[in-house]
């Protein structure tokens, strides 16, 4: 890794903490509105989807810009996705439900939006665990296959949002379209010339 890439990576790391900082500010300024727990849950939910889109965007960016360096940031963004989804889940379990496991179990079983959201987090687990270089080496070609799960996770994430909303699904549709475009880019529907593999 080149020196400037290391700095960019550090910069991305710091910027990726913005959701934590902005929420802390909102709590400090007492700006969470009438339903603070819902606010916090939505906050981390929204940022999970944003980071998921950013992660999925790195490979297409590499192709479009013919710059391999994007791939160097993909893992970190993916781990941030996992981090924010986990915080989102912990807020739901701890803040919202006060660890009332029976209620939580019922909620997961009975409500499809909770079910798909929870499944998404479960599927993220193996990806986070196998994100190290060592695991990548160990798993060989299986690693790539395993990590394709991210597309399924993205669909589950958007469904989670869309099924939560009562009627106006404009916002979930925005994420759905972004992810759809990223899928198309990945499927090599557009032909990439002079693309070097690393």
Partner 1 sequence: MKLKKIASSEITPEHIYNDRRNFIKKLGLILGSTALSAFTNKSFAALYTLPSFAQAKEGEKEKLTSLKDITSYNNYYEFGSSKSDPYEYAEKLNIDPWSISIEGSVKKPLKLDFDELIKEMPLEEHIYRLRCVEGWSMVIPWVGIPLHALLKKVSLNGNAKYVEFVSLKRPNEMIGQKIDILDWPYTEGLRLDEAMHPLTILAVGLYGKVLPKQNGAPIRLVVPWKYGFKSIKAITKIRLVEKMPISSWMKANPKEYGFYSNVNPKVDHLRWSQTTERRVGESLLSPRLKTQMFNGYHEEVAHLYQGMDLNKNF
Q: Where does this chain bind partner 1 (CB under 8 A)?
A: 33-38, 95-98, 100, 103, 106-107, 110-113, 163-168, 170
> Closer CB to partner 1, residue 134 or residue 168?
168
> Closer CB to partner 1, residue 11 or residue 103?
103
The nearest distance, CB 47 to partner 1, in angstroms, is: 18
Residue with tokens 């020196």: 3
The nearest distance, CB 128 to partner 1, in angstroms, is: 28
- Distance CA(121)–CA(137), nearest Å, equals 24
The nearest distance, CB 92 to partner 1, in angstroms, is: 11
> Closer CB to partner 1, residue 140 or residue 167?
167
- Distance CA(108)–CA(164), nearest Å, equals 13
Sort 167 into a burial class: Cβ within 10 Å, 0-12 / 13-18 / 19+: exposed
The nearest distance, CB 1 to partner 1, in angstroms, is: 41
* Residues whose CB falls within 8 Å of the CB of residue 152, separated by 6 or more in sequence, listed in order: 123
- Distance CA(47)–CA(176), nearest Å, equals 15
> Closer CB to partner 1, residue 79 or residue 115?
115
Can you give the three-state secondary structure of 28-67, one letter per residue?
Answer: HCCCCCCCHHHHHHHHHHHHHHHHHHHHHHHHHHHHHHCC
> Closer CB to partner 1, residue 70 or residue 113?
113
The nearest distance, CB 50 to partner 1, in angstroms, is: 18
């Amino acid at each position: 890794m080149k020196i400037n890439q290391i700095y960019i990576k550090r910069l991305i790391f710091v910027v990726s903490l913005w959701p934590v900082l902005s929420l802390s500010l909102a709590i400090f300024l007492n700006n969470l509105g009438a339903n603070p727990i819902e606010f916090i849950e939505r906050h981390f939910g929204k940022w999970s989807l944003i980071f998921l889109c950013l992660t999925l965007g790195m490979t297409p960016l590499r192709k479009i810009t013919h710059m391999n360096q994007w791939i160097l940031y993909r893992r970190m963004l993916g781990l941030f996705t996992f981090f924010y989804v986990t915080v989102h889940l912990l807020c739901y379990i701890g803040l919202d439900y006060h660890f009332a496991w029976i209620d939580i179990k019922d909620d997961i079983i009975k409500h499809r939006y909770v079910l798909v959201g929870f499944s998404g987090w479960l599927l993220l687990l193996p990806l986070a665990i196998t994100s190290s270089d060592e695991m990548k080496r160990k798993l060989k070609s299986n690693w790539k296959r395993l990590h394709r799960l991210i597309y399924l996770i993205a669909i589950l994430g958007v469904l989670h949002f869309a099924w939560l909303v009562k009627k106006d699904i404009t916002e979930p549709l925005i994420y759905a379209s972004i992810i759809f475009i990223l899928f198309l880019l990945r499927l090599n529907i557009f032909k990439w010339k002079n693309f070097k593999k690393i």
